[in-house]
Structure 1
Amino acid sequence: MKLIIKADDFGSTPGVTDGIAKGIVDGIVRDTSLLANSKTLDYAVKKAEEIGLLACGLHLTLTYGSPVLPASDLPSITTEEGKFYRNPSSIPKDYDVNEIEKEFRAQLAKFKETGLELTHLDSHHHVHALLNDEVVEVVMKIASEEGVPVRRQNDTHIPMMEKYGVRTTDYLDRRFGGNEEQSTLDHLIMILDEYKDKDCTLEVMTHPGFVDDELIEISSFTSPRETEVETLTSKAIQDYIKENAIELISFKAIKDQK
């Protein structure tokens, strides 16, 4: 089995960025995705340079912070305060797909300014997959233009991925993390045990991080992130990976497939 331990939310807060960095340096995290609209983007880019992270994904967002473009250009997807809505269900149903595409492309342009190589696309809160197929198609179109994979959200998107020649993993498992019980070593091993003997590529979505004031302000998902850091950097999980001949890869390996 080939395994991508992927950490979401790089750049969301300094503490989250530091937790992901620790997972990469001292643990089994092999890819992450950057929030290009983050207030602490410069900190994340500097941290990536410090740890030798040369490539990562873009965490497209419509539900974190403020847009890259002026909010006045995005009236259907921003609040009166000029920010994104906090969760996908709060986005008005009459959103303008053209506004979403413009903002996603602006986030991509911001990402490219960092100098990091793009490994893949995914989205914060899975927002693109929770809206309509037109938004999914926007992401597939951008991925095709950039020649990068997209996170496998569900099988209903596969025909559109095939239409645009976009690669993905064989499986995405979203059961790790979210609360203390599901962030433990035993829970992660339980997940991996289901796949370890398959000839497949699996992404396990993770959210490691250290709790800081910024995280407390923007999210209710806090302390389990620190438990994830402990699990993903533990000697026990690294021994399990070796003992079961699991190959750790990043999305770059899928991107570079011949």
Structure 2
Amino acid sequence: MRRKLIVNADDFGMCVGVNTGILRAHRQGIVTSTTIMANGLAFADAVARAQDCPQLGVGVHLVLLGGPPVAPPQDVRSLLGPDGTLPNDFGVFLRRLLRRELRPAEIEIEFRAQIERVLAAGLRPTHLDSHKHAHAHPLVLDVLLRVAEAYGIRSLRRPQERLAFVSLSGLNRQDALTFVKQKASALALARYARAFRRRLRTAPVRIPDAFFGFAHTGLLNPALICYMLRLLPVGTSELMCHPADMDDTLRRYPTRLKEARLREQAALTDPRVRDEIIRQGIQLVNFSDLDQNP
């Protein structure tokens, strides 16, 4: 009947500010896991920092949106925009995916190249997830599962949270409006949830029992995290987060999450959150714990 929680920080390797923020949230807060972007601007910096944190689980944040490809561009042409990079617009990505313009074989080439780069750096991935939850779509999920099996990676993210989960704890009016928009996006991806669960019944991988943080991306605060902790179900759950320190690269980076990352870092290191975890008897783990529990 134990409740366990994986707190995973996305975008490791995006820039140095993100890397230092994730490590701060791990050492001084509740982050137990992260996922590294093999095509990130600060990938080498992230690898060096991860090697000094043996208790931090490191998975691969597979990227189909944003930045340069890791595979040779001529091998993944269907994934690239006119400028030779992976387009960053999720709406464009989804439309192209639905029109079958993105070739599954090329998605697999890119995924393998990203994992190979992480392995060559000396990291052993604990799990896989994807930037902007691309693997929620069945076509991408099929590719991800093939790649996971090929590399012996046994755990991945479930990118759907309970549709009924709504909380405005600690949010101001503007943040509440952001939450509503993100909840709509979560509902849009929920259309694939049944197919996702069905496909995983026959796949040799493990996923957490519950997932939190999709609709609250960039909005985490101490009150909201404590609310989630009190609702945490029995089993293993994952809380997605995006902590960072601000630097010049993050200020210029094409992401809407900038100051929000600083607020999330403050929330993840807030003593009230740690006290609530102790009060609730929750065990903090990373994705390697899934492998240890049949």
2:227 aligned residue (180, 190, 211):
190
Give the secondary structure class of the aligned counterpart of 1:118: coil
Q: Is the 8 A contact 1:34 1:59 kept in 2?
A: yes
Match of 1:110 in 2: 117
Distance change (3 Å), C-alpha of 1:15 and 1:96: same
CA apart distance, 1:135: 1.7
Moved more, 91-100 or 3-12: 91-100
Give the secondary structure class of the aligned counterpart of 1:189: helix
> What whole-Å deviation, never above 9, does each CA across 1:130-160 have from its counterpart, x for those lacking one?
4xx2221111122233142110124421221
Match of 1:250 in 2: 286
| Corresponding letter in the other structure for 2:263 | T
- Separation (CA, whole Å) in 2 of partners of 1:256 and 1:113: 25
Match of 1:143 in 2: 148
Q: Is the 8 A contact 1:120 1:150 kept in 2?
A: yes
Match of 1:85 in 2: 87
Structure 2 unaligned regions, length at least 5: 161-192
- Separation (CA, whole Å) in 1 of partners of 2:249 and 2:62: 20
Match of 2:237 in 1: 202
Distance change (3 Å), C-alpha of 1:29 and 1:176: farther
> What whole-Å deviation, never above 9, does each CA across 1:59-98 have from its counterpart, x for those lacking one?
0001121000122222211012110001322233311111
Identity %: 31
- Separation (CA, whole Å) in 2 of partners of 1:225 and 1:81: 28
Match of 1:64 in 2: 66
CA apart distance, 1:56: 0.8
Match of 1:166 in 2: 205
Q: Describe how 1:50-61 pairs up with structure 2 within 5 A.
A: 50-52=52-54, 55-61=57-63
TM-score of the two chains, using structure 1 as the length reference:
0.92
Q: Does 1:215 align with 2:250?
A: yes
TM-score of the two chains, using structure 2 as the length reference:
0.81
| Corresponding letter in the other structure for 2:283 | E
Q: Is the 8 A contact 2:8 2:32 kept in 1?
A: yes
- Separation (CA, whole Å) in 1 of partners of 2:234 and 2:271: 25
Q: Does 1:44 align with 2:42?
A: no
Give the secondary structure class of the aligned counterpart of 2:79: coil
Q: Is the 8 A contact 1:16 1:209 kept in 2?
A: yes
Distance change (3 Å), C-alpha of 1:67 and 1:175: closer
| Corresponding letter in the other structure for 2:125 | L
Q: Is the 8 A contact 2:125 2:153 kept in 1?
A: no
Give the secondary structure class of the aligned counterpart of 2:7: strand
Give the secondary structure class of the aligned counterpart of 2:40: coil
Give the secondary structure class of the aligned counterpart of 1:56: strand
| Corresponding letter in the other structure for 1:185 | P
Structure 1 unaligned regions, length at least 5: none
Q: Is the 8 A contact 1:73 1:99 kept in 2?
A: yes
